[in-house]
Amino acid sequence: MALVKVKNKFQVTIPNEIRLQAHIKEGDILEVIVQDKAIVFKPSAVLDRDSVDAAIAEGLRDYKEGRVFGPFDSVEEFKAALTTIS
């Protein structure tokens, strides 16, 4: 168990051993909830809307220009198609 002190502006530092065990890196986003009187930090995925919109636009361009394959009757058929694309 690690102890931390609540500092000015209610900030705490996550001890290194905990960061390593939880694979937390600088810049990660954590969701914070209270669960049974405990404060729980959980990793949270945040999507960049611009990146998602760009990926969708690229997929639509590929579809309109006929650069798509499928549908496939099985996973094996899909995997075989992937190896022929490269």
How confident is the model over 9-53, as pLDDT tens digits? 999 999 999 999 999 999 899 999 999 999 999 988 878 889 999
Q: Is the pTM above the cut of 0.85?
A: no
**How far apart are alpha carbons 45 and 28 in whole angstroms?**
9
The per-residue b/e assignment along 61-70, b for 16 or more CB within 10 angstroms, e otherwise, is eeeeeeeeee
pLDDT value of position 35: 96
Contact 43, 24 (CB under 8 A): yes
Residue 54 has pLDDT above 90, yes or no: yes
**How far apart are alpha carbons 79 and 73 in whole angstroms?**
11
